[in-house]
């Protein structure tokens, strides 16, 4: 039997995977009852399963063949209409249909990051984005986030300390994963100015923007600066229809289209045809708007239930964000629990029957130990209350003063 090391490429040492996805796999293997605050997806009862099944069953010629790399024309048409209604009109030559938002992120970093290039990410950031950048050898630096999103005014000093301009600034501007906060209009404008100053790409990863349940819409980068060549927008149907579909899209400068197509042709040829047809049918049937208004109403109820339960349980010993949409709350222990270590809390919590993602999963350097991400999308209000009771037991086990 051959036993010498396998001839791995050097770049595999930059592959660090995603703690979020590993948690999801761990949860799938658990046999006991767990309240799943760790999962960034709607609960099964909020997925439009019957309508999707019906759309899937419809016959459509060529459905099982290869498709155009840039995506099915009919789906691109639906994406254009959706973008228009979201206030960011665009054109077909800017759109590439992808296998979920993750493939859009992979393409962005593949196109713009050489080993050693500086990529700025948010602190906390969406780990799957930062690990994708790291996979291309990026040098990562983190800029703080407050209740108004990325602290854009902290960027010039951060970049000066780095000694090199950024190639990419990676942001989840709306209902951020993991904090739930939204970048203000003023900061979006300022970020565009800074990106121009450095010639850096803004990777605008916005899967949650259509899931607003309260407050005023904040215009997207491509609405503030239509067609801006330094904005690379990554979108997905995962959160607005269903994550298992694995359909998303990129909206980026038309000059990038040939490169994006070449990258895809060297990767996976085209996005799954049956699924593209299914999403086209679903969106074209006009059911998305009704589906979204029903689900966002329920997400709001769930968010309120979770905040109320956390307030009752932890009071002044935890600070909790108050998102206007999306799936996530960010909790930071303070006061009596100021020394809580959310990583140490993870396993006791699983035993108690509740799952969350520890804060360090969203940092590039192990920070945010006192924080954790909670998704309210996966459970109804009563179940959320039960989950928070279990969370309290786990917190008391490892952090009782």
Strands 201-205 and 231-236, by their bridges, are parallel
The reply to whether 375 sits near ligand PMP by the rule CB under 6 A is no
Q: How far is the CB of 197 from ligand PMP (least distance, A)?
A: 26
Strands 318-320 and 328-333, by their bridges, are antiparallel
User: What sign does the dihedral 61-63-64-69 (CA atoms) show?
Assistant: positive
Task: Give the Cα separation of 203 and 110 in Å (integer).
Answer: 12
Rg (CA), the chain: 21
Select the residue interacting with ligand PMP from 67, 124, 220, 243 (CB under 6 A).
Answer: 243
| Nearer Cβ to ligand PMP (46/398) | 46
Q: At what angle do helices 49-57 and 273-284 cross, to 10 degrees?
A: 120
Q: How far is the CB of 181 from ligand PMP (least distance, A)?
A: 13
Closest CA to 131 of 148, 113, 143, 144: 113
Alpha helix (H) residue ranges in 199-287: 221-224, 257-265, 273-284
Select the residue interacting with ligand PMP from 101, 124, 135, 180 (CB under 6 A).
Answer: 101
Q: How far is the CB of 126 from ligand PMP (least distance, A)?
A: 4
Task: Give the Cα separation of 9 and 30 in Å (integer).
Answer: 34
Task: Using CB under 6 A, count the residues that bind ligand PMP.
Answer: 13
Strands 371-375 and 328-333, by their bridges, are antiparallel
The reply to whether 102 sits near ligand PMP by the rule CB under 6 A is yes
Task: Give the Cα separation of 319 and 323 in Å (integer).
Answer: 13
In order, the DSSP letters of 108-124 are HHHHH--TT-EEEEEES
| Nearer Cβ to ligand PMP (70/205) | 205
DSSP-assigned beta bridge partners for residue 142: 121
Select the residue interacting with ligand PMP from 112, 126, 175, 330 (CB under 6 A).
Answer: 126
| Nearer Cβ to ligand PMP (205/324) | 205
Of 21-60, binders to ligand PMP (CB under 6 A) are 40
The reply to whether 100 sits near ligand PMP by the rule CB under 6 A is yes
Going residue by residue from 245 to 264, which x/- string records binding to ligand PMP, judged by CB under 6 A?
Answer: ---x----------------
DSSP 86: T
The reply to whether 371 sits near ligand PMP by the rule CB under 6 A is no
Going residue by residue from 158 to 187, which x/- string records binding to ligand PMP, judged by CB under 6 A?
Answer: --------------x----x----------
Select the residue interacting with ligand PMP from 123, 149, 166, 207 (CB under 6 A).
Answer: 207
| Nearer Cβ to ligand PMP (71/243) | 243
| Nearer Cβ to ligand PMP (102/398) | 102
The reply to whether 326 sits near ligand PMP by the rule CB under 6 A is no
Closest CA to 124 of 369, 326, 300, 306: 369
Q: How far is the CB of 365 from ligand PMP (least distance, A)?
A: 20
User: Coil, helix or strand for 246?
Assistant: coil
Residue 327 near residue 211, CB atoms below 8 Å: yes
For residue 389, the tally of other CB atoms under 10 A from its CB is: 15
Q: For binding to ligand PMP (CB under 6 A), which residues are involved?
A: 40, 100-102, 126, 172, 177, 205, 207, 236, 238, 243, 248
């Amino acid at each position: 039997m051959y036993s010498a090391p396998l001839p791995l490429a050097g770049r595999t040492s930059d592959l660090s995977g995603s703690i979020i996805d590993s948690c999801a796999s761990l949860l799938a293997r658990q046999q006991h009852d767990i309240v799943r605050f760790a999962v960034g997806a709607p609960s099964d009862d909020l997925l439009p399963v019957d309508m999707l099944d019906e759309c899937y069953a419809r016959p459509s010629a060529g459905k099982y063949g290869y498709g155009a790399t840039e995506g099915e024309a009919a789906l691109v048409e639906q994406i254009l209409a959706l973008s228009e209604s979201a206030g960011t009109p665009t054109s077909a030559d800017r759109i590439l249909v992808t296998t979920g938002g993750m493939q859009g992120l992979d393409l962005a970093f593949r196109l713009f990051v050489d080993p050693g290039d500086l990529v700025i990410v948010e602190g906390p950031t969406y780990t799957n984005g930062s690990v994708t950048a790291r996979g291309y050898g990026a040098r990562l630096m983190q800029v703080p986030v407050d209740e108004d999103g990325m602290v854009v005014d902290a960027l010039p000093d951060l970049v000066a300390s780095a000694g090199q301009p950024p190639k990419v600034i990676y942001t989840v501007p709306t209902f951020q994963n993991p904090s739930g906060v939204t970048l203000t209009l003023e900061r979006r404008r300022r970020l565009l100015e800074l990106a121009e100053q450095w010639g850096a790409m803004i990777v605008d990863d916005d899967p949650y923007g259509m899931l607003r349940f309260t407050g005023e819409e904040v215009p997207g980068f491509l609405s503030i600066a239509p067609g801006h060549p330094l904005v690379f927008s990554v979108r997905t149907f995962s959160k607005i229809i269903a994550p298992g579909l694995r359909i998303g899209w990129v909206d980026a400068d038309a000059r990038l289209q040939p490169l994006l197509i070449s990258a895809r042709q060297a990767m996976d040829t085209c996005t799954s045809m049956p699924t593209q047809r299914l999403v086209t049918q679903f969106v074209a049937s006009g059911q998305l708007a009704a589906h979204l208004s029903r689900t966002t109403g329920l997400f709001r109820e769930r968010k309120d239930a979770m905040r109320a339960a956390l307030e009752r349980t932890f009071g002044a010993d935890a600070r909790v964000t108050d998102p206007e949409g999306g799936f996530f709350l960010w909790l930071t222990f303070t006061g009596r629990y100021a020394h809580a270590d959310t990583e140490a809390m993870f396993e006791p919590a699983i035993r108690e029957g509740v799952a969350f993602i520890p804060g360090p999963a969203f940092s590039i350097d192990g920070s945010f130990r006192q924080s954790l991400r909670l998704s309210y999308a996966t459970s109804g209000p009563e179940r959320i209350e039960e989950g928070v009771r279990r969370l309290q037991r786990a917190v008391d086990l490892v952090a009782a003063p």
